[in-house]
Structure 1
Amino acid sequence: MIITRTPFRVSFFGGGTDYPGWFRDHGGAVLSTTINKFCYITCRRLPPFFEHKHRIVYSRIENVIHNSEIEHPAVRAILNWANIGDGLEIHHDGDLPARSGLGSSSAFTVGLVHALYSLRGHMTNKDSLAKDAIHIEQNVIGENVGSQDQIAAAYGGFNRIEFKKDGNFDVAPVVLPAARREELRDHLMLCFTGVSRIASDVAKSKIDNLKNRTTELSKMREMVDEGIHILQDTKHPIDEFGKLLDTSWRYKRSLSKQVSTPEIDQLYEEAQCAGATGGKILGAGGGGFLLLFAKPGKHAAIRERLKNLVHVPFNFEDAGSRVVLYQPNGL
């Protein structure tokens, strides 16, 4: 039995420039961190005593004989990509809801790919995990997704990720004094709007509009380095990071009418009235988690103002996808 643990991520700046349709012409960059909320994949070979060959357990349970019968699109695609012949039992558990803007789909892909390598006794590395997951999601499944989530899930940590025109990428850890890193964490809040959405659908509306948003996307990429400069130069008040998030959110909303909704706009306005400096809807948009930036002394008022939302405490995470149980013989 193999169990992998793969982190979810919070993206601050540069989202949208990680779509191949953008960075292959202009290059791209994002600033993001993984958090201590995880996707767990349990995988084992299934003994040949059952009527079914594969058993896949997530929000549903699938017992199937052929790969083609698997309804979970990522599982079906990954097993076909990996040329899996043996029967498998695969369980998925997540700390937070799927389709909520935290890169959960890519965490699932990275985690399952990692588990299959381990089940075969093969070591892999973060770079290969990220590239395999990007290929599977963009080319095998054919989803409208960018390339940042797979890299964040594989590598873990607080990183500046740069996307090259040739399709390659560089991952540079953002080095911060411990006190500044903690100060940033203390200013962040994560709130679930209660709305899950299909990220690929929202992303397609943005991808179709990329050529008409050159100014906005160029500005959003510049904010990656602006944000890093604010954090690393401690002469800058940390509130400047929050104000930059607010500016970035306004640019992001202009990328597509599906990024925000009147309900999300109302929630964001309520948070600002209660003391939030800035924030954004995470991921493609349309729902999911709302990230807010506010002085710690304002958090209680914001929680009270948004008392109908689920507030999720979190911390930063640095390990990336890991094998946390390795018993290939089931012993």
Structure 2
Amino acid sequence: MSSTITSYSPFRITFGGGGTDIEPFISTHGGFVVNATIDRGVRVSYKDDGHSLEISSRDLLRSYIVGANEHTEVLDRMVELLEVNGVKRGRILLNGDVPPGSGLGSSSALITATLRLIGELRGAVDPPGKMAEEAYDIEMNRFGVTLGRQDPYAIAIGGFKGMAFRGKEFTVHPIQVGSRIFSEIDGGTILVYTGKTRESTEALKDQVQASRSGDMETIGNLERMKDVAEKMLHSALSGDLDGFYSLVNAAWEIKKRLGSRVTSERVERIIGTALSSGARAARLMGGGRDGFVLVLCRPGDVDRIQSRLMSESEFVFRVSLDPQGTRILR
């Protein structure tokens, strides 16, 4: 009997620039984001047991056996992806650390982890950039997800970094492990669950439609978001912690101008509680309204602020930064 192979992709958090990496803005103006991968993610495990291909998901509480199931959306598309790449038997287990649709790039994490597993089985592993491009194409054209380019690239490459995009071209500006800002973020990051998930495609529709129609207010806000993200990277590289946190808050204020579905009363209440309790910065992750609120604190304030945030949510947890991207767990 063959051994189990497990591929892993970390989730990502975004500090600024999310939304500037979406077409058509990215091709006409170029995008810029600052993000980091964290120590929570998605595992895709495979064991060839000689039987029909089976996919089971702890998160979706559902199993799929080829030839024995009706259409099941995500799992159905996953089977298609695996079969077209020659994986036609065995057991696949999908296991994520947070619920899907939480604003942490879970769909990109799932696809990049699956592609890394396929590469391992084939004995031909693509470099992270190529894997990210394939994952982006799969999400857009096979899964029908509206997304920015940052998610698959941030997750496949890993680490704390700035990323510049122009169409399909990208440049990575890493923030080194051990730097002042890396250590601060690594020791002072909390995620707060709003209690609901959401479909990112729906949350991003307003922005995409406005951008395509040439709406000057939307384009102007995206330009400002890009500028703030570029300044954020400069603050991180120079060790300007106060400047970095201030820009994270500024980026969120601009993000809220992109549409009515970006924030909610509950999100704003969580953010207000975090900031009034001494957090340096706070903002919602992902396209909008629900999922996880990112809270950035001084490491010495984490215990007190986390305890205070427990009054707002039953799911409040600390995360550290993961300097690696998608990989096989050995």
- TM-score by structure 1 length? 0.88
Displacement, 1:88? 3.7
The alignment yields a C-alpha RMSD, in angstroms, of 2.1
Query: Residue 316 of structure 1 corresponds to which residue in structure 2?
Result: 321
Is 1:21 equivalent to 2:20 in the alignment?
Answer: no
Query: Residue 47 of structure 1 corresponds to which residue in structure 2?
Result: 50
Is 1:226 equivalent to 2:231 in the alignment?
Answer: yes
The separation in 2 between residues aligned to 1:171 and 1:232, in whole angstroms, is 13
Number of matched pairs:
317
Change beyond 3 A, Cα 1:296–1:221: same
Displacement, 1:216? 1.0
Which deviates the most, 210-219 or 99-108? 210-219
Is 1:151 equivalent to 2:156 in the alignment?
Answer: no
Partner of 2:141, secondary structure, is helix
Change beyond 3 A, Cα 1:190–1:84: same
* Percent of residue pairs bearing the same amino acid type: 27
Alignment of 1:257-272 (within 5 A): 257-272=260-275
Partner of 1:45, secondary structure, is strand
> Is the 1:44–1:119 contact (alpha carbons within 8 Å) kept by the matching residues of 2?
no
Partner of 1:144, secondary structure, is coil
Gaps (5+ residues) in structure 1? Answer: 326-331
Query: Residue 328 of structure 1 corresponds to which residue in structure 2?
Result: none
Is 1:56 equivalent to 2:61 in the alignment?
Answer: no
The separation in 1 between residues aligned to 2:329 and 2:102, in whole angstroms, is 25
Query: Residue 209 of structure 1 corresponds to which residue in structure 2?
Result: 210
Change beyond 3 A, Cα 1:180–1:268: closer
Displacement, 1:68? 7.9
CA offsets 1:261-300 (integer angstroms, 9 cap, x no match): 1111122122222222321101112211111123344434
Gaps (5+ residues) in structure 2? Answer: none
Is 1:186 equivalent to 2:187 in the alignment?
Answer: yes
Q: Which amino acid aligns with 1:35?
A: I
Displacement, 1:10? 0.7
Partner of 1:181, secondary structure, is helix
The separation in 2 between residues aligned to 1:118 and 1:164, in whole angstroms, is 30
Partner of 2:258, secondary structure, is coil
Is 1:119 equivalent to 2:121 in the alignment?
Answer: yes
Alignment of 1:1-331 (within 5 A): 1-48=4-51, 53-58=52-57, 59=60, 60-65=62-67, 69-72=71-74, 74-79=77-82, 82-84=84-86, 86-165=88-167, 167-175=168-176, 178-210=179-211, 211-212=214-215, 213-234=218-239, 236=240, 238-308=241-311, 309=313, 310-325=315-330
